[in-house]
């Protein structure tokens, strides 16, 4: 990030940085090798809708102020512009355009008031790769959950790297695991197999993370803390302390933090959650399954096909022909049904 910027705000110079840590209303922004505590200005807190007759005018008249539906408009990974405040802190005055954002559906809120509904929850922004983490055993890998992670990455147009931990628990009997991963590699998803006990795969993973902004996603118990400690001594403990503040299994991004890696790049770990709900942001969920995407629109009913029981469905035909894994197809149907149920409750 370049701290020096030509822009001025209220007669003061502005600087840019990246949000590495946040708790509601408070942010730690990294810029030029230093970390600065920052607060959020009301300019970001509210959405200002201006007249569009003269967009180049510097003197905007506020027509309407819309409170943001959800309290915190910033996410870890956001690039922001700020000014120096008198108390030594920074005041964030602008959110810069996001390159991408990884999202999930919030937990369905209890109907405490009329109109309560789930919303899009931004996990992290401006990342280079999503790293779904699954254990080889204890617990057994849940491939349908992996599909959810991959679909979320596809929706955000972010690369994915599958990471398997606890390889030592299945050493010599990992044939089924290797077969499953081979199928994912065939449809474009690379994988790395690791063991924090034996050290196998750790150097390979370290090289795959180097120089990149990566976000780890995975259930509690898959061994992310041990994996991070194997990558860098103490890293797992620092991440775990952040996640303990957040709370096990909650759908929250309140206390996420980005950690720089010694070899370059940075990593964000997400607290282990029991679910990973898809945010409904695509007309045909099959577009987010890489092996099914080329077949969308080629069914008898074209783009109207639901890929379920319709005759002439190109995707079902490919499943029957062994060209698409039946389990991946079931993941598609499950996600589609979930989206329908969510829509019904809105």
CA angle 90, 94, 95 (to 5 degrees): 110
pLDDT tens figures, 103-145: 887 665 545 455 556 667 888 999 999 999 999 999 999 999 9
Kindly report the average pLDDT of the chain as a whole number: 83
Give yes or no: residues 156 and 219 share one domain: yes
Give yes or no: residues 188 and 320 share one domain: no
Strand partners, 47: 66
- Report whether pLDDT(65) > 60: no
Q: Where are the beta strands (DSSP E) in 119-220?
A: 120-125, 129-135, 159-160, 162-165, 191-193, 213-217
Q: Check: CB of residue 125 under 8 Å from CB of residue 102.
A: yes
Give yes or no: residues 43 and 19 share one domain: yes
Structural domain including 54 reads: 8-97
Tokens of 113: 């008031």
Q: Check: CB of residue 307 under 8 Å from CB of residue 299.
A: yes
In a domain, residue 115? The reply is no
Neighbours of 52 (CB within 10 A): 7
Q: Where are the alpha helices (DSSP H) in 170-217?
A: 175-186, 202-209
In a domain, residue 226? The reply is yes
Q: Check: CB of residue 205 under 8 Å from CB of residue 192.
A: yes
pTM of the model: 0.84
User: For the chain, what is the domain count?
Assistant: 3
CA dist 280 and 104 (Å) reads 9
pLDDT value at residue 165: 97
pLDDT tens figures, 257-313: 899 999 899 999 887 655 566 665 667 899 999 999 999 999 999 988 999 988 999
Percent of residues, the chain, with pLDDT higher than 70: 77
Q: How confident is the model at residue 2 (pLDDT cuts 50, 70, 90)?
A: very low
In a domain, residue 330? The reply is yes
pLDDT tens figures, 140-180: 999 999 999 999 999 999 999 999 999 999 999 999 999 99
Give yes or no: residues 292 and 335 share one domain: yes
């Amino acid at each position: 990030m370049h701290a020096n910027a030509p822009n001025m705000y209220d007669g003061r110079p502005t600087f840019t940085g990246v949000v590495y840590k946040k708790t509601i209303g408070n942010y730690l922004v990294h810029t030029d090798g230093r970390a600065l505590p920052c607060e959020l200005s009301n300019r970001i807190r509210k959405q200002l809708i201006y007249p569009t007759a003269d967009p180049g005018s510097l003197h905007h008249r506020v027509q309407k102020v819309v409170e943001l539906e959800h309290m915190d408009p910033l996410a870890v990974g956001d690039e922001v512009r700020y000014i120096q405040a008198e108390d030594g802190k920074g005041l964030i005055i602008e959110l810069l355009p996001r390159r991408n954002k990884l999202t999930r559906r919030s937990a369905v809120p209890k109907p405490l008031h009329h109109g309560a509904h789930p919303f899009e929850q931004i996990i992290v922004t401006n990342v280079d790769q999503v790293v779904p983490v699954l254990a080889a055993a204890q617990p057994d890998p849940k491939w349908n959950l992996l599909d959810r992670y991959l679909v979320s990455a596809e929706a955000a147009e972010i690369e994915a790297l599958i990471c398997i931990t606890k390889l030592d628990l299945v050493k010599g009997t990992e044939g089924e695991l290797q077969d499953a991963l081979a199928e994912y590699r065939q449809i474009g998803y690379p994988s790395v197999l690791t063991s924090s006990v034996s050290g196998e795969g750790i150097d390979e993973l370290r090289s795959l993370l180097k120089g990149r902004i990566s976000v780890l996603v995975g259930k509690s118990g898959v061994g992310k803390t041990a994996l991070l400690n194997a990558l860098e001594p103490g890293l797992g403990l620092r991440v775990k302390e952040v996640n303990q503040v957040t709370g096990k299994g909650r759908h929250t991004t309140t206390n996420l933090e980005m950690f720089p890696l010694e070899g370059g790049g940075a990593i964000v770990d997400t607290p282990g959650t029991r679910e990973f709900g898809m945010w409904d942001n695509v007309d045909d969920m099959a577009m987010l399954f890489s092996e099914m995407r080329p077949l969308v629109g080629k069914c008898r009913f074209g783009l109207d096909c639901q890929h379920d029981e319709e005759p002439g469905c190109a995707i079902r035909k490919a499943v029957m022909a062994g060209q698409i894994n039946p389990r991946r197809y079931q993941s598609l149907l499950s996600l589609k049904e979930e989206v329908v149920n969510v829509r019904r409750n809105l």
